[in-house]
Amino acid sequence: MAIERSTAASAFVAPRRAEGDRSGRARVAIAGLAVLLAITGFLSLAAGASDASILGILGNLFGGSETGLSHRDAIIIYDIRLPRMLLGALVGAALAVSGALMQGLFRNPLADPAIVGVSAGASLGAVSVIVLGATVLAPATALFGIFTLPLAAFAGALAVTLVLYRISTRRGQTSVATMLLAGIAVGAMAMAFTGFLIFVADDRQLRELTFWTLGSLAGSTWTKLWAAGPIILAAFALSPFLARGLNALALGEAAAGHLGIAVERLKSGAILAVAAAAGASVAVSGGIGFVGIIVPHLLRLAIGPDHRYLLPASALLGASLLLVADAASRTIVAPAELPIGIVTAAVGAPFFLWLLLRKRGLLDM
């Protein structure tokens, strides 16, 4: 009898101990990713044609305005590189968190704002403001000011996400295959409208629209940071409240409901957060693909699928990844600058193919 009790107790304690091990590993990983983000942030500030060194930048940031940098280098750091670094970190975090939320919502690791058309909807909203902001949309531009562009991108992303969700969900069940196919179709429709707006744009607008097709952080300013930052941070503030529900949703909508999760409210919150984060990031950086699919998948392999840890870890790794990609885009063809969307696509597309082949059992690694 004593042996049976001991075995039962061990069987009860072992899963809790394993869960504790995973939680501890996830916390260590998040701390490591925070350090990685700090390192990539300082490297991003130091990368470029200026002679400013990392030690000089650190001395100026933490030692006062009289040390570390010349007046010229200080202008470069504070007016060009610092807003670019902060905006790049915000955009990378927003894209990665959007991908993690969509994959949790649709219960599929292939879901991503760019692949299912959400980014195309955001681009349509942003391009509409660029082309029609002085004519048809002039009242909205006058009303919302610098927030017009990110709000329009948010509205476009939200509209596509809602259409996608309505098409792919029947009787409370979401069809992943329908979602992916509908995402391709809705994204193509959004791109068609975007193409029409590009066709009627003038030369000045065409130069600005090139920014959207390839993705870039070259035009980063403090104004853009202030315009998109509050929307992205609002999505970040909402995401921790969704983590427990997304964990339960992995068991199915019926099981999540039995566990006390308000499933419809959870879905609405996740859609709102994805639209806000993806829309605002596209508004300031254009179409940057594959960050939202690479980062959550890698982290799921490393620390498990618990969204309480997956969401903050995705934000940290997504920010670091985009800062590294931005530094690469500035140095690969220096003194020219490669659009960052090309860098992320060059790395992300092979990874996406590997993921597809692995899911079909054609690869073991």
Q: What percent of the chain has pLDDT over 90?
A: 14
Q: How confident is the model at residue 176 (pLDDT cuts 50, 70, 90)?
A: low
What are the structure tokens assigned to 132, written together?
Answer: 């029609």
Lowest mean pLDDT among 122-131, 321-330, 337-346, 355-364: 355-364
Burial letters for 61-82: b for 16+ Cβ neighbours within 10 Å, e otherwise?
A: beeeeeebbeeebbebbbeebb
Q: For residues 191 and 44, what is the distance between their CA atoms, to the nearest angstrom?
A: 32
Q: What's the mean pLDDT when you consider all of the chain?
A: 80
Question: Which pLDDT tens digit goes with each residue over 252-285?
Answer: 878 888 888 888 788 878 888 888 888 888 878 8
pLDDT of residue 174: 66
Write down the H helix ranges in 64-175: 71-75, 82-106, 118-132, 138-144, 148-168
Tokens 């499933």 label which residue? 263
Closest CA to 295 of 271, 324, 321: 321
pLDDT of residue 317: 93
pLDDT of residue 67: 58
Question: Which pLDDT tens digit goes with each residue over 111-140?
Answer: 777 777 787 888 888 888 888 877 777 788
Distance of CA 320 to the CA centre of its chain: 12
Lowest mean pLDDT among 15-24, 142-151, 336-345, 347-356: 15-24
